[in-house]
Amino acid sequence: MSLIGIEALEFGIEDLAASEQFAADFGLMHVRPGEFRTQNGARVRVFDKDDSSLPPAFEPGPTLRRMVWGVATQADLEPYRENLRDRPGFRDLGDALECQDPNGMTVRITVSTLEPVALTVPPINQYGDMRRIDEPSPVYDQAEPVGIGHAVFFVDDLDGLETLERFYCDQLGFVVSDRYIDRGVFLRMDARGGHHNLFLLKLPHRGRGLNHVAFTVRDIHEVIGGGIAMTRKHWSTFIGPGRHPVSSAYFWYVNSPLGGAFEYYTNEDSLTENWQARTMHHSLESFTEWAIEGGIDVDTRRQKKTA
Ligand SMILES: [Fe+2]
């Protein structure tokens, strides 16, 4: 069993014009009305939240309704067909399988159509490793996300967290990367790959729902350029820029009319079967080494002042 990527995110939304403007401003390419893509061909689709073609919502308001994962070949679908057939909402579409996860999110698995992306990424010069010679570091006017990297879901309670972890690990082949005691678990879709493709989180006073979805960009400069561009276009920052010690990633989260936040991120840890999952306390320090709350002001290029 091996999932190889996130193929699509399908949202039920309330404001079509704002949602499409947000997706375009975020740097996603417009494919057709209601559909956008990243550079590697992953799709973001928006539907009216009452559209009858959408599966049930796991929270009120605009939110993610279906998450689509890819496998390499049609034959790779087979083990999932067996594992998922008794799940609520199971549908066998021939070249895709679908069911509901125990948190109420609809999960689809399909043959991947993601495309490799060749990009020139100027290296970072570090002590003892000077690889960018006679060439300045880039400044980006806006981000162009390469692909979709992960989603973060809230759960109702710790039992729900455990059940959800078991579903993704036992039925879909996910691997635990790290764990916050009595709080959350980071899962990756394959033993070899980025630190997490899912983070499942229990917060006090917050029931199940979407926290954010995250898009890979080239480097730290594109995280910053993307965040500043979104600010220039009057979208509000949830938190960012900043850095997560738990995955090493630089991040910038922008509040999204599609539900939750959209994150630009880069430089996450790349893991193998040799990685030993860590267990740690969820704290300010373990979540953020540093972060700017509310973003950066476009005119002053300093931390945004709150009124
Ligand atoms: Fe994230």
pLDDT at 287: 86
pLDDT of residue 286: 83
pLDDT value at residue 307: 64
Residue 285's pLDDT band (boundaries 50, 70, 90)?
A: confident
Ligand 1 centroid distance, CA of 82 (Å): 31
CA distance 99 to 86: 9
What pLDDT does residue 21 have?
A: 98
- Within a domain: residue 132? no
CA of 7 to the centre of ligand 1 (A): 17
Residues 14 and 89 in one domain: yes
Say whether pLDDT at 105 is over 80: yes
CB distance 69 to 108 below 8 Å: yes
Residue where a domain stops, chosen among 66, 86, 111: 111
Distance (Å) from CA 252 to ligand 1 centroid: 9
Residue 240: inside a domain = yes
Q: Per-residue pLDDT for 50 more than 90?
A: yes
Q: Please state the rounded mean pLDDT for residues 12-38.
A: 98
Q: What's the whole-number mean pLDDT along residues 81-101? A: 96
Q: Mean pLDDT over residues 236-241, rounded? A: 96
State the residue for tokens 């948190």.
103
Please give the distance, rounded to the nearest whole angstrom, from the Cα atom of residue 152 to the centre of ligand 1: 7
Residue 264 has pLDDT above 90, yes or no: yes
Å from CA of 45 to ligand 1 middle = 20
pLDDT of the residue at 305 = 86
Distance from residue 301's CA to the centre of ligand 1 (Å)? 24
Residue 172 lies in a domain: yes
- 128 CA distance to ligand 1 centroid (A)? 31
Residue 185 has pLDDT above 80, yes or no: yes
Residue 281 has pLDDT above 90, yes or no: yes
- Indicate whether 79 belongs to any domain: yes
Dist. CA 295 → ligand 1 center (Å): 16
Same domain (yes/no): 202, 97: no
For residue 212, the CA-to-ligand 1 centroid distance in Å is: 7
Same-domain check for residues 96 and 232 = no
Give the distance (Å) from ligand 1 centre to CA of residue 272.
20
CA of 151 to the centre of ligand 1 (A): 7
Is residue 128, in this structure, part of any structural domain at all? no
Residues 106 and 188 both lie in one domain: no
Residues 220 and 172 in one domain: yes
CA angle 122, 72, 45 (to 5 degrees): 75
pLDDT of amino acid 283: 87
| 81 Cα to the center of ligand 1, angstroms | 29
**Are residues 155 and 284 both part of a single domain?**
yes
Do 208 and 162 reside in the same domain of the chain?
A: yes
The Å distance, Cα 186 to ligand 1 centre, comes to 10
C-alpha dist (Å) from residue 243 to 252, 260, 289: 9, 19, 6
Could you give the percent of the chain with pLDDT greater than 90? 96
Ligand 1 geometric centre to CA of 24 (Å): 20
**Between 307 and 52, the higher pLDDT residue:** 52
| 248 pLDDT above the threshold of 70 | yes
Whether residue 93 is found in the same domain as residue 163: no
Domain co-membership, 270 together with 189: yes
Tell me if 204 is assigned to some domain.
Answer: yes
Q: Are residues 152 and 267 in the same domain?
A: yes
Question: Where among 63, 94, 111 does a domain terminate?
Answer: 111
135 part of a folded domain: no
Instruction: Give the distance (Å) from ligand 1 centre to CA of residue 135.
Output: 31
Cα 302 to ligand 1 centre (Å) = 24
Domain that holds residue 219: 147-291
Q: Residue 293: left (phi > 0), alpha (psi -120 to 50), or beta?
A: beta
pLDDT at 109 over 80: yes
Contacts of 84 (CB under 8 A, 6+ apart): 90, 97, 99, 109, 171
**Which of 111, 129, 164 lies at the terminal end of a domain, its last residue?**
111
Q: What is the CATH number of the domain that holds 171?
A: 3.10.180.10
| Cα-to-centroid distance, 268 and ligand 1 (Å) | 10
Count of structural domains within the chain:
2
Same domain? 183 vs 101: no
At residue 197 the predicted structure's pLDDT band, cuts being 50, 70 and 90, is very high
- Tell how far the Cα of 264 is from the centroid of ligand 1, in angstroms: 8
In a domain, 185, yes or no: yes
**170, 93: one domain:** no
- 30 C-alpha to center of ligand 1: Å? 23
